[in-house]
């Protein structure tokens, strides 16, 4: 059944339910986004797994060799931001980049899946901006800091992840345009591969990689990442560090 699932931070705490046209329908009642509270990341992952080097165009741009099996890294839950929240520009980098990625959200505890079994354990799909401090040494330093994983705006439960158009705009300039059919490893292969190594838990996220990433972002700029059938993740970069 087609649904958009979202979470809202209200004065009395987080609530979750079905999102429709700015309204969240929950067991606790009906809430208006922006009036009764703000959107949260649409799930609470114990771990955010991120696939790298999953588009041939990215390999060409970065002069990487094509991996024989999926390449991945991990971001902590502290890296998450919601749709509409500001991305703080860290004081310790001069080269902050973006990457618009499709994300699988897991719905039940699972391990050792076959690719064919993956759809049965998926809650749905959302969008992530893989923010990267490109001038730092080592992937964890570059990608696992606070605010490096804007996620949202909601989870779409009924979408074919293997053939989705995507585009990323920085302000009014289109910076990325691609389709998920160009992935080197498809979503089901990737989830199955990770499930051989990790126990996946409800709410865990798997970001499936990004097409080529042709530029940096600066304070004051707005990043809009759209995946057809899901929606648009929007965040503005600000020159303000976390307290």
Q: Are 172 and 232 found together in one domain?
A: yes
Residue 66 pLDDT exceeds 80? no
Rounded Cα gap, residues 143 and 132, in angstroms: 5
User: In CATH, what number is assigned to the domain containing residue 25?
Assistant: 2.30.30
Residue 74 backbone phi and psi in degrees, to 5:
-130, 135
The structure tokens 């499930």 sit at: 195
Residue 139 backbone phi and psi in degrees, to 5:
-65, -35
Count how many Cα atoms sit within 13 Å of the Cα of residue 122 in the half-sphere of its side chain: 24
Q: Are 11 and 55 found together in one domain?
A: no
Q: Are 23 and 98 found together in one domain?
A: no
Rounded Cα gap, residues 239 and 243, in angstroms: 12
Host domain of residue 33:
1-40
Identify how many contiguous H helices and E strands the chain contains and give both numbers: 3, 19
Q: 4-54 pLDDT, tens per residue?
A: 999 999 999 999 999 999 999 999 899 999 999 999 999 999 999 999 889
Q: Are 4 and 98 found together in one domain?
A: no
* Average pLDDT, rounded, for the chain: 93
Task: State if pTM tops 0.85.
Answer: yes
Q: Are 101 and 137 found together in one domain?
A: yes
Rounded Cα gap, residues 92 and 94, in angstroms: 7
Q: Are 227 and 185 found together in one domain?
A: yes
Inside any domain, residue 243:
no
Q: 208-224 pLDDT, tens per residue?
A: 999 887 689 999 999 99
User: In CATH, what number is assigned to the domain containing residue 206?
Assistant: 3.90.850.10
């Amino acid at each position: 059944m087609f649904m958009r699932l979202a979470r809202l931070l209200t004065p009395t705490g987080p609530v979750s339910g079905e999102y429709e046209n700015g309204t969240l329908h929950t067991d606790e009642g009906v809430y208006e986004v922006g009036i009764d509270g703000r959107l949260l990341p649409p799930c609470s992952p114990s771990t955010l797994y991120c696939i790298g080097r999953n588009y041939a165009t990215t390999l060409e741009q970065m002069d990487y060799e094509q991996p024989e099996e999926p390449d991945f890294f991990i971001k902590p839950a502290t890296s998450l931001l919601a749709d509409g929240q500001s991305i703080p520009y860290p004081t310790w980098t001069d080269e902050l980049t973006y990457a618009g990625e499709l994300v699988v959200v897991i719905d039940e505890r699972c391990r050792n899946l076959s690719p064919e079994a993956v759809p049965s354990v998926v809650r749905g799909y959302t969008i992530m901006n893989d923010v990267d401090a490109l001038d730092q040494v080592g992937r964890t330093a570059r990608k696992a800091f606070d605010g490096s994983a804007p996620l949202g705006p909601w989870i779409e439960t009924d979408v074919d992840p293997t053939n989705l158009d995507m585009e990323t705009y920085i302000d009014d300039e289109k910076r990325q345009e691609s389709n998920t059919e160009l992935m080197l490893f498809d979503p089901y292969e990737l989830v199955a591969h990770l499930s051989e190594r990790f126990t996946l838990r409800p709410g865990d996220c798997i970001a499936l990689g990004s097409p080529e990433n042709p530029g940096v972002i600066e304070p004051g700029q707005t990043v809009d990442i759209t995946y057809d059938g899901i929606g648009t993740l929007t965040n503005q970069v600000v020159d303000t560090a976390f307290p």
